[in-house]
Amino acid sequence: MKADAFSLPADSGCGAPPEREVLRERGQREVFCGLTGIVWLHRKMQDAFFLVVGSRTCAHLLQSAAGVMIFAEPRFATAIIEERDLAGMADCHEELDRVVDRLLARRPEIRQLFLVGSCPSEVIKLDLGKAAERLGAKHAGQVRILNYSGSGIETTFTEGEDACLASLVPVMPASAPDAAPQLLLVGSLPDIVEDQFLRLFAQLGIENVGVLPARTADGLPAIGPNTRILLAQPFLGETAQALEGRGGQRIDAPFPFGAEGTTAWLKAAVQAFGIDEMHASAVIAPGRERAKRALEHHREKLAGKRISFLPDSQLEVPLARFLATELGMEPVEVGTPYLNRKLVARDLDQLPETTRISEGQDVDRQLDRVRADRPDLTVCGLGLANPLEAEGLSTKWAIELVFSPIHGFEQAGDLAELFARPLRRRDVLQV
Amino acid sequence: MQLSVWTYEGPPHVGAMRVATAMRGVHYLLHAPQGDTYADLLFTMIERRNARPPVTYTTFQARDLGKDTADLFQRAARDAYARFDPQVMLVGSSCTAELIQDDPAGMAEAMRLPCPVVPLELPSYSRKENWGAGETFYQIVRHLADRDVRPTARDGRKPLVNILGPAALGFRHRDDVREVRGILNRLGIDVNCVAPLGASPADIARIGAADFNIVLYPEIGDSAARWLEREFKQPRTKTVPLGVGATREFIAEVAALAGVDPEPARADGESRMPWWSRSVDSTYLTGKRVFVFGDATHAVAAARVAHEELGFKVVGLGCYNREFAREVRDAARAYGVEPLITDDHLEVEDAIAAAAPELVLGTQMERHIAKRQGVPCAVISAPVHVQDFPARHSPQMGFEGANVLFDTWAHPLVMGLEEHLLTMFREDFEFSDDAGASHLAAHSPSRHAEPVSASSAPTAPTFQEEDWTPGQVRGDDEDTLWTAEAEAELKKIPFFVRGKAKRNTETYASEQGRAAIDLETLYDAKAHYAR
């Protein structure tokens, strides 16, 4: 087990300011696995079905994470590996074919099927890539069959979306070498937020905008050397790399949280497309002002309050940036399951020097630090929230930040409210 | 491979967590990959516990495979021991660790931890949660029970019992234990230990001091109780006190085993349920068709209460835990129904649709099935959601439990007087379909009730195509021809019995070989099926 010491990373960027110290820990992790991404991805991709090949534990996890959603004919399920499947591999593939055939017969409206790997399927080395190929050929013309891994041994929570989107990159159509510049917005966003951004891009004069993931199978955007990639989520390292591998160029930007974050994100796109700054400012101003007014309501409650993040989604660094620079909060520790320095550089730079950045987790040691720090608010998972409340520490459960619309100008106030509400509730309760 | 969206039970290590979390001074070291900690939130959110479950996960990742997972395990074991200072450690594997073939039992033994270690073998690919809980509790009792502890001589002392089975995440276990303690108190019987809920390893060590065992939840307590019966000669109870009749029998059984007079408990704790059930407002409950599904213990008990104590007709009975299927088969035979032993919720859904019940008693899953089919429902068994871990005292067992059952099951049904009024005023604007059914707002589509003046009210009901709910009123039998008049008449029947009326009429028509269903057929069928 690594000592409780700050360690300098070996690879520091050339010419950049010295990289800040990061506390790296290994030990018990209190996080979701990548399978959880299915719960929001299947809402976004309307004709996709997610078939997990895993154990009863995987099915139980999805059921626990999906809550009541599980009863509304969800487009996900688990092919539960049983004892007889473990006896021989050939049998396993036949079984999978049988399950997929039955599934597609029952749900003829499905156009994309993701075979999602789990810890058990990875450990027994069930080749889902090959299975996807075989089944894809069999059901060609009707349904596209892809595969990715959402296993806990490889992915943490939102990394499941990264793995899913990366699996879509090879099947994206290639744009012509001489095609007009195209903007590719990457990362699943609630439809309402996506629509707001698309409207803003149109007003800014960026007409050719693709979205990954697309809402339907045939809406998959093109990719090529003329594509500029704008990430809406910080956890998309693998997807970004795959897109760059097909010629796309990433626009470096902070993430669109709050009035300033969203402004900087849009302006980065504006610069990449050579749009007139005056025009851009005029388009952006109304939303930016609205967002600032909405944030003002919460500033009084949140300014000066100390906040710690436990690792969960990789949204921690951008959100801490938002809370620090736009609401005057003081981030004490910002934990992230994985720190992709390149992608969150613009947010990381704006965090106060005093903030402790940690990557990975040894949950018991981290909780010791939370108890010693006694922040006003701790952002953590549902397995830890009530126990910390019982110790007198106010918490904000992290998973809500992934399911709620929080990006962009119009959601800035709602995002602040998510953090203000637990504090308000703590003050109002007299029992 | 089994295609599954919803599972009635988690994997067996979740059962082990339920036992570890229920106890004090126990820590469970689970060899498991990153992500399996999701199960923590079942305890902190659904049961609303104020502390983390006493479980340490080794959290191995892909890069650890093939080299140091064993090392990881031993470090985690040392750290967990140092931090939590448990009196006993449980060690075992989750489903993935089972595949990588580390040997938690052997590794823990080699470490010579300074506390007793109970190794758990929980086959994840063939067994499930309840089995895991029962096996874990059995292993704990086997390893920890002190064989030298036996009951003292009886002269003068009160009888002493163990209460076995209640656990964390158990449906109403907290309140059932309180009710059963009350009964024992009135009988003048002392409790040696309740386990696993609230028990420490020291309590388990002294389990042999009791004269006999009370098994509240056979799914979790039976294996341990059978072993104690063999090894310690402690008899065990066979009656689960769910319902008035079963509670009376339970009191008699316990009093006989203890050699005490049963009367104090019978006379003192009489339930209000028998009178509620006899009062005239309950007459409408007679013969209500009820479908029962859950874990075997709760399902069998619920069927008995429904049949003997509320006057319902049991039209379906089943359970999801195969281990106790025999009890369900026996009970189903008694009610003349086909037992349904399955963990496939789609099969349950089909069986409910086929039985066309007026009330479903089941789990959280049946609650949603019933909602979709527009049938009232009450929850009688795990798995349940957060609302079924209530703040208020809400037992299922004992006489207070029987009161709770009456209220909980009768509530979703339309009350007698209300049902009478609905029938009487079925064409009244406030009671028509279009007004919706406010008393069942959660179950019916919301429609606006618009006042209709006497002059504008249609003299004959007009049938609107869009008013028909597909599958509920029309559509399952394409060959059946309803005349417009008969269809309109059918629509006047309250929606919650209309499905059955339609089905009965169609069956009758086909049996009688009638080509079309007209008003005559409708009422002939009604007379034919009159009960």
Q: pLDDT at position B464, please? A: 38
Residues of B acting as catalytic residues: 281
Q: Do B33 and A33 touch (CB under 8 A)?
A: yes
Q: Residue with structure tokens 């590719």?
A: A184
- In order, the DSSP letters of A85-108 are GGT-HHHHHHHHHHHHHHHHHH-T
> Cα torsion at A343, A346, A350, A354 (round to 10°)?
30
Residue B163, amino acid: I
Average pLDDT for consecutive 10-residue bins of chain A (431 residues)? Answer: 40 57 95 96 95 97 80 86 83 92 93 98 95 96 96 97 98 92 97 96 96 96 97 98 98 98 98 96 97 95 98 98 98 98 96 97 97 98 96 96 95 97 95 86
pLDDT tops 70 at residue B334? yes
Distance CA B429, CA A430 (A): 46
Q: pLDDT at position B467, please? A: 38
Task: State how beta strands A249-250 and A227-231 pair.
Answer: parallel
Summarised one tens digit per residue, pLDDT across range B366-389 is 999 998 888 899 999 999 999 999
- Helix (H) or strand (E) segment spanning residue A194: helix A191-204
Distance CA B383, CA B505 (A): 37
Among A26, A30, A60, A101, which would you mutate to test the B interface (most chain B Cβ atoms within 10 Å of its Cβ)?
A: A60
Distance CA A4, CA A180 (A): 52
Q: Do A383 and B38 touch (CB under 8 A)?
A: yes
Q: Do A57 and B4 touch (CB under 8 A)?
A: no
CA A262 to chain B, closest CA, distance in angstroms equals 32
User: Using a CB-CB distance cutoff of 8 angstroms, which residues of chain A are in contact with residue B64?
Assistant: 153
Average pLDDT rounded to a whole number, residues B402-425: 78
pLDDT-derived band at B488, boundaries 50, 70, 90: confident
Q: Do B36 and A29 touch (CB under 8 A)?
A: no
Nearest CB neighbour to A70, from listed B5, B10, B76: B5
pLDDT tops 90 at residue B432? no
Main-chain dihedrals φ then ψ at residue B338, nearest 5 degrees: -80, 125
User: Using a CB-CB distance cutoff of 8 angstroms, which residues of chain A are in contact with residue B37?
Assistant: 28-31, 383
pLDDT over 70 percentage in chain B: 86
Q: pLDDT at position A70, please? A: 66
Distance CA B493, CA B488 (A): 9
User: Using a CB-CB distance cutoff of 8 angstroms, which residues of chain B are in contact with residue A152?
Assistant: 33-36, 61, 96
Average pLDDT rounded to a whole number, residues B67-89: 93
Nearest CB neighbour to A387, from listed B4, B51, B83: B51
pLDDT-derived band at B43, boundaries 50, 70, 90: very high
Nearest CB neighbour to B41, from listed A64, A95, A96: A64
CA A78 to chain B, closest CA, distance in angstroms equals 5
Q: Is A151 on the interface with B (CB under 8 A)?
A: yes
Q: pLDDT at position A200, please? A: 97
Q: What is the ipTM of this complex?
A: 0.92
Nearest CB neighbour to A65, from listed B38, B40, B62: B38
User: Using a CB-CB distance cutoff of 8 angstroms, which residues of chain A are in contact with residue B33?
Assistant: 33, 119, 151-153
Among A126, A157, A361, A386, which would you mutate to test the B interface (most chain B Cβ atoms within 10 Å of its Cβ)?
A: A386
Summarised one tens digit per residue, pLDDT across range B241-274 is 999 999 999 999 999 999 999 998 887 667 899 9
Summarised one tens digit per residue, pLDDT across range B277-318 is 999 989 989 999 999 999 999 999 999 999 999 999 999 999
**What single DSSP character describes residue B414?**
P
pLDDT tops 90 at residue B499? no
Question: Among A203-212, A380-389, B27-36, B100-109, where is mean pLDDT lowest?
Answer: B100-109
pLDDT-derived band at B531, boundaries 50, 70, 90: low
Q: Give Cα separations from B493 to A280, B422, B496, B502, B516 (angstroms).
A: 64, 9, 8, 10, 19
pTM beyond 0.90: the answer is no
Distance CA B234, CA B162 (A): 10
- Helix (H) or strand (E) segment spanning residue A77: strand A76-80
Question: Among A312-321, A331-340, B390-399, B468-477, where is mean pLDDT lowest?
Answer: B468-477
User: Across the strands, what pairs with B57?
Assistant: B30
Q: Is A152 on the interface with B (CB under 8 A)?
A: yes
Question: Which of B392, B72, B6 minimizes the C-alpha distance to A61?
Answer: B6
Distance CA B451, CA B464 (A): 18
Q: Do A119 and B96 touch (CB under 8 A)?
A: yes
User: Using a CB-CB distance cutoff of 8 angstroms, which residues of chain B are in contact with residue A385?
Assistant: 44
Buried residues in B448-482 as b, exposed as e (16+ CB within 10 A) = eeeeeeeeeeeeeeeeeeeeeeeeebbeeeeebeb
Q: pLDDT at position A19, please? A: 77
Q: How far is CA B186 from the centre of its chain?
A: 28
Q: Is A71 on the interface with B (CB under 8 A)?
A: yes
- In order, the DSSP letters of B334-370 are HHT--EEE-S-HHHHHHHHHHH--SEEEE-HHHHHHH
Question: Among A191-195, B320-324, B330-334, B497-501, where is mean pLDDT lowest?
Answer: B497-501
Interior angle at CA A66, CA A61 and CA A71, nearest 5: 115
Q: Is A61 on the interface with B (CB under 8 A)?
A: yes
CA A31 to chain B, closest CA, distance in angstroms equals 6
